[in-house]
């Protein structure tokens, strides 16, 4: 008998019918003799709706109260799921993150899991119950405050629980049947990959691929918990995210991200200490920067651009304006209409020419590259937001990542 951790996303628990199907699967897994711990997201678009609701009451809601509000979403689905499982004659109990002993730091809205005690989870499992835990949430033990981990946080709850409870693997049930070579909503011939390494999946998620939360993949890698991403609507095998992948493609996928904006500080005097003066106050405010570009100096001044999450761009702009004034720069421009496309693949370490091919592919479809950044296994370009889909499709074609048709055109 083994312990199985299953996580069901918002679409998978989006209606009473779907909760019934999820409960069937949970009851069947329990029926096979496994201990089962389930993590659920809020139903359907509940989290989005709650965020919109809060914004009608307050344009910048206090983060603590946002966490109180958002955790209600997962509380609804965990209780309904437990009821649906009970209806099948299988004993079940639901727990909030706090009741499950998921201890986090104090950062409301982006809390990090520090420890999982899991006392009540283990007791309930020992009593033969299925345990259903509300995703994305925990508690800061120092202040006894409820916290959330940010969008997609239920993935992190699931993989961290799998690690803490000694599960062999973690199943992530979602609305696609695995990890694809690009978002299947954009690229119609995107191909499901059977396996992908933690390293590549981390680059995909960090580059905006929404199918898993980055921190879930980090937990998987740190504790070596293989993650099986699969569909809650079928029984087909999905994608295994694990230490070493057998698939050795040069490029494993294309990711895109529309959640960032670009700030440019124009004509900054080019002298030692200027970059520090620009970025120190942004760091002190806890703003996560992504790309940074400093242009070639002309007449003793230079432009400095960076990208940051749209959610913190107002603060980043205010800080940059004050720095620009102090430094005697010309001014600050904010561009919210940008997006990022990234080509990811461990094989590029040993295959030269990937970056050049990215640039020429974008040039062929007349897409201007505004910023570039690379890691050893990734090439990312910031482009006009309106051209992101075209860029993803063109790169997917250029690197021949699509499904091989059954009957080739030249047959």
x-or-dash string of contact with ligand ADP, 123-162, rule CB under 6 A: -----------------------------x----------
Residue 180 contacts ligand ADP per CB under 6 A? yes
Q: Which is nearer to Mg ion, 22 or 313 (CB)?
A: 22
- Count of chain residues binding Mg ion (CB under 5 A): 2
Interactions with ligand ADP, residue window 25-54 (CB under 6 A): 41
101, 118, 134, 135: residue in contact with ligand ASP (rule CB under 6 A): 135
Q: HEC states along the chain?
A: CCEEEEEECCHHHCCHHHHHHHHHHHHHHHHCCCEEEEEECCCCCHHHHHHHHHHHHCCCCCHHHHHHHHHHHHHHHHHHHHHHHHHCCCCEEEECCCCCCEEECCCCCCCCEEEECCHHHHHHHHCCCEEEEECCEEEECCCCEEEECCCCHHHHHHHHHHHHHCCCCEEEEECCCCCECCCCCCCCCCCECCEEEHHHHHHHHHCCCCCCCHHHHHHHHHHCCCEEEEECCCCCCCEEEECCCCCCCCCCEEEEECCEEEEEEEEEECCCCHHHHHHHHHHHCCCCCCCEEECCCECCEEEEEEEEEHHHHHHHHHHHHHHHHHHCCCEEEEECCEEEEEEECHHHHCCCCHHHHHHHHHHHCCCCCCEEEEECCEEEEEEEHHHHHHHHHHHHHHCCCCCCCCCCCCC
Least distance between ligand ADP and beta carbon 271 (Å) = 43
Which x/- pattern, by CB under 5 A, does the window 5-24 give for Mg ion?
----x---------------
- Measured from the CB atom, the residue of 129 and 151 that comes closer to Mg ion is 151
Here's the x/- map for Mg ion, 130-159, by CB under 5 A: it reads as ----------------------x-------
279 is a contact residue toward ligand ADP (CB under 6 A): no
Least Å distance, CB 179 to ligand ADP, is: 5
Minimum Å distance from CB 208 to Mg ion?
13
Taking the complex as a whole, the smallest distance from the CB of residue 40 to ligand ADP amounts, in Å, to 10
Q: Determine if 378 is a binding residue for ligand ASP (CB under 6 A).
A: no
10 lies in the site for ligand ASP, by CB under 6 A: yes
251 binds ligand ADP per the rule CB under 6 A = no
Which one among 23, 37, 42, 196 touches ligand ASP, defined by CB under 6 A? 42
Using CB under 6 A, which of the segments 16-24, 41-49, 231-239, 388-396 binds ligand ASP?
A: 41-49
Contacts to ligand ASP by CB under 6 A: 9-10, 41-42, 47, 73, 135-136, 151-155
Contacts to ligand ADP by CB under 6 A: 9-12, 41, 152, 174-176, 179-180, 182-185, 209-211, 253
């Amino acid at each position: 008998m083994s312990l199985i951790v299953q996580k069901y996303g918002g679409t998978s628990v989006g209606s009473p019918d779907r909760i019934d199907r999820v409960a069937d699967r949970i009851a069947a897994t329990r029926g096979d003799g496994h201990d089962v711990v389930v993590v659920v997201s809020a139903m359907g678009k509940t989290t989005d709706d709650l965020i919109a609701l809060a914004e009608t009451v307050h344009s910048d809601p206090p983060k603590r109260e946002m966490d109180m509000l958002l955790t209600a979403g997962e509380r609804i689905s965990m209780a309904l799921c437990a009821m649906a499982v009970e209806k099948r004659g299988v004993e079940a109990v639901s727990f909030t993150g706090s009741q499950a002993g998921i201890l986090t730091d104090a950062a409301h809205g982006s809390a990090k899991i520090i420890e999982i005690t899991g006392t009540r989870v283990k007791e309930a499992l020992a009593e033969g119950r299925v345990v259903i835990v509300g995703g994305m949430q925990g508690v800061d033990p120092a202040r006894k405050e409820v916290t959330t981990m940010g969008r997609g946080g239920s993935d992190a709850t699931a993989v961290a629980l799998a690690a803490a409870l000694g599960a062999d693997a973690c199943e992530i049930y979602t609305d696609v049947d695995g990890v694809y070579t690009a978002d299947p909503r954009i690229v119609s011939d995107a191909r499901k990959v059977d396996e992908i390494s933690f390293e590549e999946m981390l680059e995909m998620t960090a580059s905006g691929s929404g199918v898993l939360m980055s921190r879930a993949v980090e937990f998987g890698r740190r504790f070596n918990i293989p993650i099986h991403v699969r569909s809650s609507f079928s029984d087909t095998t999905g994608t295994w995210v694990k230490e070493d992948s057998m698939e050795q493609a040069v490029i494993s996928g294309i990711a895109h991200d529309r959640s960032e904006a670009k700030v440019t500080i124009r004509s900054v005097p080019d002298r030692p200490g200027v970059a520090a003066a620009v970025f120190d106050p942004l760091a002190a405010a806890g703003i996560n920067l992504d790309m940074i570009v400093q242009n070639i100096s002309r007449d003793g001044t230079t432009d400095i651009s960076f990208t940051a999450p749209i959610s913190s761009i107002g603060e980043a702009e205010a800080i940059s304006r004050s720095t620009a004034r102090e430094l005697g720069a010309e001014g600050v421009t904010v561009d919210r209409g940008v997006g990022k496309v990234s080509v990811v693949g461990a094989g590029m370490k040993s295959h030269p020419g990937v970056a050049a091919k990215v640039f020429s592919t974008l040039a062929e479809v007349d897409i201007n590259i505004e910023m570039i950044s690379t890691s050893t296994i990734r090439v990312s370009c910031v482009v006009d937001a309106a051209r992101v889909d075209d860029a993803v499709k063109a790169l997917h074609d250029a690197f021949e990542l699509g499904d091989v048709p059954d009957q080739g055109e030249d047959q």
